[in-house]
Amino acid sequence: MHPGRRKMNNNEKAKDFKKSMLSLIKYCRPYLLPVIFATILAIISAIMSIIGPDKLRSITNLITDGLLTGINIAEVKKIALLLITIYLISAIFGYIEQVIMAVVTNKFSKHLRKEIIEKINHMPLKYFDKNSYGDILSRVTNDVDTLSMTLNQSLGNLVTSITLLIGSIIMMFVTNGLMALTAILSSIIGFIFMFFIISKSQKYFSRLQDEIGELDGHIEEMYAGHNVVKVYNGVDDANKKFKEINDEMYNNVRKGQFLSGLMHPFMGFIGNFGYVCVCIVGALLTMNNVIDFGVIVAFMMYVRLFTNPLSQIAQSASSLQSCAAASERVFEFLDEEEMPNEDKITKKLNPQEIKGSIEFKHVKFGYDEDKTIIKDFNVSIKPGEKIAIVGPTGAGKTTIVNLLMKFYDIKDGEIIIDGISTKELTRENIHDLFIMVLQDTWVFEGSIKENIRYNKNNITDKQIEDVCKVVGLHHYIKSLPDGYNTILYDNDTLSQGQKQLLTIARGMIEDAPFLILDEATSSVDTRTEELVQKAMDKLTEGRTSFIIAHRLSTIKNADLILMMQEGNIIEQGTHEELLKLNGKYAELYNSQFEKLED
């Protein structure tokens, strides 16, 4: 079990199961009519199957009587034709029911995936900080597939089985009460065994779905950091953790499948035992002229119709346990807290009319309730100024940018853009105001041209080429076989530095009044850095810019440098002013040159 996962007691599990089933019903509402229609077809198909033994009994009696007098072939043919018609109608209705359920369940899974994707777009970043990407992907793919397949395969069978079970009981009592009691009492032990197995095996199916998500998360992490794992000889540790999760999955599958697998053979034994009991009691009653031979034949089929549904219900119950475990994970995700709704926000800033002033007023923030990172951040920035934010790791530099972009809501205080608080602006509107180039490069599968033009439809090929010339990518791109149409995959078509230049070019193509550079030159060499620095200087012209950098040589020309430590500004001023103070900034700046001299 994952160390961070809290073990739930039985009451909590029951509540979660009930909650997930209610959520499943809610999401199935749009498909209620076809499901009801399919259910009716399944019931009719089952009823047709129940009528069959009674007609077979009539044929048997005709043949038995005919052995003494003469067989009425015409009547036998008539009943046989009716019997064939009944079974044919049953098969047709069963087929239509299966087709309807297949269509409905596939539409349902499509709808559910759409809901999950929309949910992801409304989730706060803190959720993704605390949950692995692999686990989230497992909910979207594996859990939804499990839910869809189970509903497709088990729901129709379950309805048919219950109908057969109830119908066969009624027909048995109508035919002969004593024989009915014999068949039911011989099979009742199957019910007890089935419910006992379900109660014991459910927990293993729930654990299995959790372990699948954890395994997917581990594989995703190891694949994304494959080079790091190799360099630090972490293969053994990665394999050890994989083995632990895999062994846990194996144990849960083994125990769950073993217990649920007992149901089918045991129900087969119960069915055969019912045949024996019916034959013995039927033979005794026939010898005493209480019933005729046709009743025994009919009851042998009724016993099959009675016990087979028990096996089907047991099998469906096993599948529904996996369905319940998967639905718990899916609906748990869909019930997660979303970002606050912004439909009531009416104020909007036009990027073309922005002046460019930003003010932080007594801003406080912490990722956790009991730990404040930004304690009292105050700064006023004039339009067109270049602001550099420096400080040791963990000082809160990137956090300030996250708050400015409204990725997180501030705990206290205000951030004001052109006189309007970010609390009065939508996230979408704020994102339109900023160009953001991060230290983490992101390149998706597509052409170089599509990567640079990302989400911008009015950008010409000439503009893309001009931007690439500025950042120094044009010559390399033209040397590729397909030039700007070269498709980028997740391989090494581009080096890390070239990917960084591509993301910078993507930022430069954007026309927005504010610019954020979060360690934008961290992955390029010194010579390329000079080229990028010139491009950055051109990019910052006429824009209010925020630059987070560890290489302090790149921010000498900043209008204002904020030296941060433990969430507070401890020094601020220009490069020359801070050097004269001979404080923390000067110490940090000089230490870089000392390292170079060493």
- The per-residue pLDDT for range 175-198, each reduced to its tens digit, is 788 888 887 777 777 667 766 776
- The per-residue pLDDT for range 58-70, each reduced to its tens digit, is 555 555 555 445 5
Q: Where are the domains of the chain?
A: 16-334, 356-597
Burial readout 219-257 (b: 16 or more C-beta within 10 A, e: otherwise) = bbbbeeeeeebeeeeeeeebeebeeebeebbeebeebbe
Three-class secondary structure assignment of 516-542: EEECCCCCCCHHHHHHHHHHHHHHHCC
Mean pLDDT score, 206-222? 73
SS3 content of the chain, % helix, strand, coil (to 5): 65, 10, 25
Name the range with the highest mean pLDDT among 115-119, 193-197, 392-396, 551-555: 115-119
Q: Which CATH number is correct for 356-597, 3.40.50.10320, 3.50.50.60, 3.40.50.300, 3.40.50.2000?
A: 3.40.50.300
Answer whether 55's CB lies under 8 Å from 298's CB: no
Mean pLDDT score, 386-404? 84
Radius of gyration of the chain (CA): 36
Question: What is the rounded distance in angstroms from the CA atom of residue 574 to the CA atom of residue 577?
Answer: 5
Question: What is the rounded distance in angstroms from the CA atom of residue 420 to the CA atom of residue 378?
Answer: 16
- The answer on pLDDT for 498 being more than 70 is yes
pLDDT band at 146 (very low <50, low <70, confident <90, very high): confident
DSSP letters for 462-477: HHHHHHHHHHT-HHHH
- The answer on pLDDT for 449 being more than 80 is yes
Q: In this structure, what DSSP letter does residue 262 have?
A: T
Residue 571 forms beta bridges with which residues?
563
| Average pLDDT over the chain, rounded to an integer | 76
Name the range with the highest mean pLDDT among 29-33, 319-323, 467-471: 467-471
Question: What is the rounded distance in angstroms from the CA atom of residue 591 to the CA atom of residue 577?
Answer: 18
Q: What pLDDT is stored for residue 214 in this prediction? A: 77
- CATH superfamily of domain region 16-334: ABC transporter type 1, transmembrane domain (1.20.1560.10)
Q: What pLDDT is stored for residue 119 in this prediction? A: 85
Answer whether 386's CB lies under 8 Å from 562's CB: no
- The answer on pLDDT for 143 being more than 60 is yes
- E strand or H helix at 588: helix 584-597
- The answer on pLDDT for 142 being more than 50 is yes
Looking at per-residue confidence, does 210 or 332 come out higher?
332
Residue 488 forms beta bridges with which residues?
446
Question: What is the rounded distance in angstroms from the CA atom of residue 409 to the CA atom of residue 423?
Answer: 8
Mean pLDDT score, 508-523? 77
Nearest Cα residue to 488 out of 442, 546, 549, 552: 442
Q: What pLDDT is stored for residue 123 in this prediction? A: 83
Answer whether 427's CB lies under 8 Å from 406's CB: yes
Question: What is the rounded distance in angstroms from the CA atom of residue 60 to the CA atom of residue 83?
Answer: 13
Percentage of the chain with pLDDT > 70?
75
Q: What pLDDT is stored for residue 416 in this prediction? A: 92
- The answer on pLDDT for 581 being more than 80 is yes
Nearest Cα residue to 331 out of 26, 64, 65: 26
Question: What is the rounded distance in angstroms from the CA atom of residue 518 to the CA atom of residue 478?
Answer: 28
Question: What is the rounded distance in angstroms from the CA atom of residue 529 to the CA atom of residue 521?
Answer: 6
Q: Beta 420-421 vs 434-437: how paired, if at all?
A: unpaired
Q: Beta 358-365 vs 412-417: how paired, if at all?
A: antiparallel
pLDDT band at 5 (very low <50, low <70, confident <90, very high): very low
Looking at per-residue confidence, does 203 or 246 come out higher?
246
Question: Virtual CA dihedral for 228, 230, 233, 236, nearest 10 degrees?
Answer: 110
- In sequence order, the 6+-apart residues with CB closer than 8 A to the CB of 560 are 379, 381, 385, 386, 387, 388, 572, 573, 574
Question: What is the rounded distance in angstroms from the CA atom of residue 406 to the CA atom of residue 340?
Answer: 11
Name the range with the highest mean pLDDT among 25-39, 74-88, 301-315, 571-585: 571-585
Q: What pLDDT is stored for residue 183 in this prediction? A: 78
- The answer on pLDDT for 597 being more than 50 is no
Question: What is the rounded distance in angstroms from the CA atom of residue 540 to the CA atom of residue 434?
Answer: 12
Lowest mean pLDDT among 13-27, 316-330, 489-503: 13-27
Mean pLDDT score, 289-302? 74
Q: What pLDDT is stored for residue 519 in this prediction? A: 73
Mean pLDDT score, 578-594? 80
Question: 16-334 with 356-597: one CATH topology?
Answer: no
Q: What pLDDT is stored for residue 32 in this prediction? A: 61
Looking at per-residue confidence, does 238 or 365 come out higher?
365
Q: Which tokens in the block code for residue 98?
A: 């299966």
- The answer on pLDDT for 57 being more than 80 is no
Q: What pLDDT is stored for residue 415 in this prediction? A: 92
Residue 87 forms beta bridges with which residues?
none
Q: What pLDDT is stored for residue 4 in this prediction? A: 39
